[in-house]
Structure 1
């Protein structure tokens, strides 16, 4: 417990804070320097290989930009064993069917982010299997509101021939989040937090083309409400007194206690107070001064507070 006056002011003025943390997967970044222009990416949309082929695919960019990072990633987040990034190139040696899938080339600079997807198809059957080509189509809502802590499944409806591969991205990145997991066309979100607040992209890709659909996810909660605070109390100097506070909100708020005495002193000697494990009770073991007891409830969506007064008096003198 911190009884600093600055901390009190900080908690009392606390407003909604968001914690959106971008997910980044980087492999062998390439850095250059130059002018600040938005990046662009040029790679082939589809690459058809025969088993045993060796190939290098450069990730070309128009950005001669400030600080440029060029990164290849695989849809699973891990390259197959015979695939690697060398310089700006994606290198596949002795191609096998396991190398089939979607690869992403990301280009970052201070002016922005761009990415393109490459579908790699290995094997004669994959090359000749499609008898007709129908452009993929994607259908999904433009937004979804999710309650903090909620579990939800998002479905990307996709059509086309051949059957498109589907890849979900979060903030234009491969999903690398314990709370999100792709299963086919579906994306499962568990125990949503503010970290999952942002833009999801469903990419449908096949030999017939590529289509992207976007969904904005809003993770909402409820700022704390003080449900109960002990009434002001009178106590003899040297006696023990307990204050209780309960609050609700989504996510469950954390409680903090502060004491300001009438003499202007902030806090109580640590040896003289105890806070219960759930922070709902403050016990002052030996009251010495009158003052204000503050209970502050805080979560990711804001803060609220309540106060009571402690009045101390000397014992009555007899005789």
Structure 2
């Protein structure tokens, strides 16, 4: 164990160290009478070689200095010009230092300030020495005191977020985003700063910068990016269907930062809350609830949002008109020259009639390929089918080839109402498209999307199974344009009607008699 230097005894110790060095010099200078004996004993040499030691803070390190044939020479540890130990005497007042297992230097609780070169020297006439380098590994540490900060930018501008960290080795900064990818589409990005160009509301959120260098645990800072922008409004549905006496909700989704004030209008009249009219706000969802809807409630509603940066509005139409119908038929028909179209529609008010439009696909190309005589014959057959004169045909089908049929509806109190119509005198193996819309006492509803269907090209095709067997169960009755309702078991009266219908169908097929038929359920 090396002797330590106290404050009271430090002058005496330093004097002793000086005397030891003088003695070492004198010993090395005795070249005459002692030269032979020194060579005989052998010169001191280092067994240990210089190296670099990478140590974490607060750990303990031992810097080795093993000497062969030390003799009476003084061994000393130095750091720069400061002498730490001389022989077995500890000169440095640092209590963390001591000599262990000979002349090895131990340093406890190492700190970043301990990094540097430590020299072990033998006090020969020409001093011999080795250098041990101590590198202190420091875990990463954020230079900013707070681990959470806010960043703010206006829409369209560039947001720049920075993150600085210290440590040894120099930490690597990695950027990520909470529950999302970065604006560039990447999962992560390395760099001290992250730039978001042309910022919009989708870029707002929580970003993390993480510093790591392989020493200790990584450290993370959270950056909350706020993008200031005028209100942006989305509606769940721009057209809402309801009925008298019912309750309905009109919904606007309002995004804005800072938050916006939202008001509702009906046409040009600003609305206030009443017992029958309720306004709710939950997060970005703004809802106008109308209870016990009256006819006077139908019309155009507008939600207007304003947050000081701008104003935005979106409109919703509240209507009692029928919804868009949906076709139920299969696309491939079983008939060569006719097709049964069926559809359903939602309407809180009973539907009064339907308007069905249909045409052959690529009608203009097909008409152009036919001889003039056949084109004339086709137009005459269409007029015979639907009872149209030349002026009606010009107005309805001249421009785009569409033909229309009014199909009466069977009054029903059900929300979902169904109807069907058999189109005859079609071309075998041809493709057609159809659209339909419904009318109730509030007017015509929106037209359905286009539905494409095709007639059969098979010579053996006799009939097409109904897409709604519970309503149109009997093919004979269906093809005659009759409505067939069934609840399962057939009564004798029903069987009688079906037999008669089959007989009429056989006669129809034999005579190739055809007439338009329609119905609804």
- TM-score grouping bracket, smaller chain normalisation: 0.3 to 0.5
Normalised to the residue count of structure 2, the TM-score between the two structures is 0.24
Q: Which entry has the higher C-alpha Rg, 1 or 2?
A: 2
